[in-house]
């Protein structure tokens, strides 16, 4: 009998996943990951992880499976929290959920599970795993979840063949309503529980609040840049190569203080991210203001009016080799090769037509349509049909 260790988070998805594994005849053990317990940052006096671990324990009891809690907070701090602050201080916007899967759930947690004699690790993600044979070898595929509305393959875009080989995603073929229905029938305490928002480690704390406690506020100005500004209306140069063109399309526009007018103040450029609309607290503009860039060195936020502002729209982005990842290593491109794919630059964005172009130093992703707020530090992921084949950090 194969042994599966499932990460029970205290949510409805992992609860139902555990039940399905049991139905399929696996020996199932539930493990709750405690990732964060620095009491100085739980803003309210409630302790979310306690509630969650309690719910996870009740579910395990109901399903008749062994349960224990593992404390991963040290690794968490090192691999996720410190990395995040580092990124924010560089003016990039990291994606903690993608990292949490790559570094914690499918690495630290997986090692613990395998040490406990598990054959597989399972999670409550809405995605599916496929297996194909190629040149006599088994290759694993990361496929989108059957529920289009809840597909979470993007969050797993950094997994490797080794990690996928040992992973199971029991609810990947179900939709969220079906999952809730199963939980209701079983009368699980998590059946009606809301989906967790907020960071995967700080329970109910929202990211800006968390950052505010860790990164010191410092006042700076908000500079509004008009879409009529000459930097948006330069003549496009002639290109001698495809690479030159892509370099131009993916370039970062350099804003400076004299390109706009001061319209307000903020408490720290590192709290803001490109495309953000809330929190600027500047009124009196015809269209709402969006962040078009943040300069953490000089602590300036550049903003523009309306979601069609040229400072928000770009057709191409670049991923450098160090941050380029192929789940399907057999499909990795060689220099000068191209590949037509569907891609997204954030979770829940509809897939967009794009072309990959491999160069010496990395990979360009050129979209057919303009993309809004391509953000450094976030992940771009690309698909062939419903298979996520690779991803990278936007540089």
Positions annotated as catalytic residues are: 100, 200
DSSP codes of every residue in 83-140: HHHHHHHTT----HHHHIIIIIIIIIHHHHHHHTT-SEEE---SEEEEEEEETTEEEE
330: enclosing H helix or E strand: none
319: number of Cβ within 10 Å? 23
**Spatial CB neighbours of 165, under 8 Å, sequence gap ≥ 6:** 140
**For residue 363, which of 392, 330, 342 has the smallest C-alpha distance?**
392
244-281 burial: b if 16+ Cβ within 10 Å, else e: ebbeebbeebebeeebbeebbebebbbbbbbbbeeebe
Name the one residue in this structure whose structure tokens are 């029991």. Answer: 170
Q: Which two tokens stand for residue 87?
A: 């990124």
Name the one residue in this structure whose structure tokens are 């607290």. Answer: 281
């Amino acid at each position: 009998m194969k042994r599966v260790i499932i990460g029970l988070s205290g949510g409805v998805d992992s609860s139902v996943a555990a039940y399905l594994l049991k139905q399929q005849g696996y020996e199932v053990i539930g493990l709750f990951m405690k990732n964060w317990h620095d009491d100085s940052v739980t803003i309210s006096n409630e302790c979310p992880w306690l509630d969650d671990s309690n719910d996870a324990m009740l579910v395990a009891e109901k399903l008749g499976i062994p349960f224990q809690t593992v404390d991963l907070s040290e690794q968490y701090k090192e691999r996720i929290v410190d990395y995040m602050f580092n990124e924010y201080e560089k003016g990039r916007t990291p994606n903690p959920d993608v990292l949490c899967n790559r570094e914690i759930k499918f690495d630290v947690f997986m090692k613990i599970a395998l040490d406990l004699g598990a054959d597989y690790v399972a999670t409550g993600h809405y995605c599916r795993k496929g297996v194909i044979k190629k040149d006599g070898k088994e290759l694993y595929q990361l496929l989108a979840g059957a529920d289009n509305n809840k597909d979470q393959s993007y969050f797993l875009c950094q997994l490797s063949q080794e990690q996928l080989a040992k992973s199971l995603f029991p609810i990947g073929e179900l939709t969220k309503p079906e999952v809730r229905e199963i939980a209701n029938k079983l009368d699980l305490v998590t059946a009606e529980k809301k989906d967790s928002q907020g960071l995967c480690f700080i329970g109910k704390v929202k990211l800006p609040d968390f950052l505010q406690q860790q990164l010191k506020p410092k006042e700076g100005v908000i500079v509004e840049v008009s879409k009529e500004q000459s930097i948006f209306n330069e003549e496009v140069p002639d290109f001698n190569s495809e690479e030159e063109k892509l370099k131009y399309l993916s370039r970062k526009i350099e804003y400076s203080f004299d390109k706009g007018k001061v319209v307000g103040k903020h408490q720290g450029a590192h709290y803001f991210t490109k495309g953000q609309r809330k929190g600027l607290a500047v009124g009196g503009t015809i269209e709402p203001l969006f962040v078009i860039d943040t300069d953490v060195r000089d602590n300036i936020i550049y903003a523009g009016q309306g979601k069609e502002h040229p400072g928000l729209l770009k057709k191409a982005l670049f991923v450098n080799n160090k941050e380029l990842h192929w789940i399907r290593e057999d499909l990795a491109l060689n220099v000068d090769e191209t590949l037509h794919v569907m891609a997204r630059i954030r979770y829940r964005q509809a897939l967009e037509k794009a072309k990959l172009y491999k160069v010496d130093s990395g990979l360009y992703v050129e979209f057919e349509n303009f993309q809004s707020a391509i953000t450094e530090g976030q992940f771009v992921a690309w698909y062939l049909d419903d298979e996520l084949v690779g991803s990278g950090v936007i540089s």
